[in-house]
Amino acid sequence: MPSLILLMIAGAAMFAYWNAARAAAERAEKLGRDACKAADVLWLDQTVHAHGLRVRRGEDGKLGFERSFRFEYSYDGIDRHIGRLVLRGEQLVSFIGPVRPSVAPLER
């Protein structure tokens, strides 16, 4: 009987981990898609790829997972560039990718 309880606890922990990983991937996908749309570039392959997983402390001091993802985008449909983003929980902590072009005025 105790082994059944341990098996159920392990199953629940694995489900919770899988569910959190899936939610993070969906959030990363939305962030990557929105960034490409805002920068007016093509979001390639319509997906993000999990790139890394680390245990980090959040701003509240609690341990949690920090997941990094990568995605690809193109300015003209021919070239390919890699974008990266890092999520700590649901919070975006790092982003490298397409940006909206802007022109800064020259000082005289």
Query: Would the pLDDT of 22 be above 80?
Result: yes
82 falls within a domain: yes
54 falls within a domain: yes
In this prediction, residue 107 carries a pLDDT of 76
7 falls within a domain: no
What's the whole-model pTM score?
A: 0.80
In this prediction, residue 23 carries a pLDDT of 92
Residue whose entry in the numeric block shows the structure tokens 């959030």: 27
Domain that holds residue 56: 24-96
In this prediction, residue 1 carries a pLDDT of 60
88 falls within a domain: yes
Upper half-sphere CA count for residue 55 (Cβ side, 13 Å): 3
Q: Residues 99, 96, 23, 57: what is their CA dihedral angle, to the nearest 10 degrees?
A: -130
For 100, the enclosing helix (H) or strand (E) is: none
In this prediction, residue 89 carries a pLDDT of 84
How many domains does the structure of the chain reveal? Answer: 1
63-74 and 81-88 beta bridge pairing: antiparallel
For 51-105, the pLDDT digits (tens) are: 899 999 878 888 889 999 999 999 888 889 999 999 998 889 999 988 776 666 7
Query: Would the pLDDT of 14 be above 90?
Result: yes
